[in-house]
Amino acid sequence: MKKLIIQNVSKQFGDVNALHNVSLALDEGSMLAVLGPSGCGKTTLLRSIAGFETPNAGRIIINGQTVFGEQTNIKPEHRKIGYVPQHGVLFPHLSVARNIAFGLSDSAYSHKEQKAQRVAEMLQLVGMAGLGKRMPHELSGGQQQRVALARALAPSPSLVLLDEPFSALDAGLRTALREEVKATLNQIGATAILVTHDQEEALSMADLVAVMRQGQCVQVADPVSLYKYPADIHVAYFVGEAITLEATLDHGRAHCCFGPLPLAPGCAIDSSSATIMIRPEQFVPSAPAEQQLGGQVLKTIYYGHNALVHIKTDAKFGAQEIQIRVSGAHSYTPGEYVGLKITGEVMAY
Ligand SMILES: Nc1ncnc2c1ncn2[C@@H]1O[C@H](COP(=O)(O)OP(=O)(O)OP(=O)(O)O)[C@@H](O)[C@H]1O
Find all residues with CB under 8 Å of 181, minimum gap 6, and list them.
149, 162, 165, 205
Nearest CA to ligand 1 atom 30: 39
Give dist(CA 222, CA 227) in Å, integer: 9
> What sign does the CA torsion over 38, 42, 46, 48 have?
positive
**Band of residue 349 on the pLDDT scale cut at 50, 70, 90:** very high
Tell me how far apart the alpha carbons of residues 199 and 223 are, in angstroms, rounded to a whole number: 10
CA 18 to centroid of ligand 1, rounded, Å: 6
Q: Which atom of ligand 1 is nearest to the CA of 53?
A: 1
CA-wise closest residue to 94 among 134, 140, 145, 152: 134
Query: Do 291 and 340 touch, CB atoms closer than 8 A?
Result: no
Mutational test site, ligand 1, from 11, 15, 22, 42, max ligand atoms within 8 Å of CB: 42
Please report the atom of ligand 1 found closest to the CA of residue 14. 4
Model confidence pLDDT, tens digit, residues 137-173? 999 888 898 899 899 989 888 899 999 888 877 777 7
Q: What pLDDT is recorded for position 279? A: 96
Distance 220 CA to ligand 1 centre (A): 21
Residue 215 alpha carbon, nearest atom of ligand 1:
14
The angle subtended at Cα 121 by Cα 118 and Cα 122, nearest 5°, is 90
**In the prediction, which pLDDT does 304 show?**
85
- Spatial distance between the Cα atoms of 261 and 102, rounded to a whole number of angstroms: 59
> Which residue CA neighbors atom 25 of ligand 1 most closely?
38
ipTM, two decimals, is 0.97
In this model, does residue 13 exceed pLDDT 70?
A: yes
CB under 6 Å to ligand 1: residues? 13, 16, 18, 36, 38-44, 197
Q: Are 120 and 129 within 8 A, CB to CB?
A: yes
pLDDT at residue 330 is higher than 90: no
Which of 11, 22, 44, 238 has the most ligand 1 atoms within 8 A of CB, as the residue to mutate? Answer: 44
Concatenated DSSP letters of 43-100: HHHHHHHHTSS--SEEEEEETTEEEEETTEE--GGGS-EEEE-SS--S-TTS-HHHHH
Substitution candidate for ligand 1 out of 10, 11, 12, 16 with most atoms within 8 A of CB: 16
Instruction: Output the CA 235–ligand 1 centroid distance in Å.
Output: 20
How far apart CA 174 and CA 165 sit, in angstroms, is 9
The per-residue pLDDT for range 26-43, each reduced to its tens digit, is 999 999 999 999 999 999
Q: What is the DSSP letter of 294?
A: E
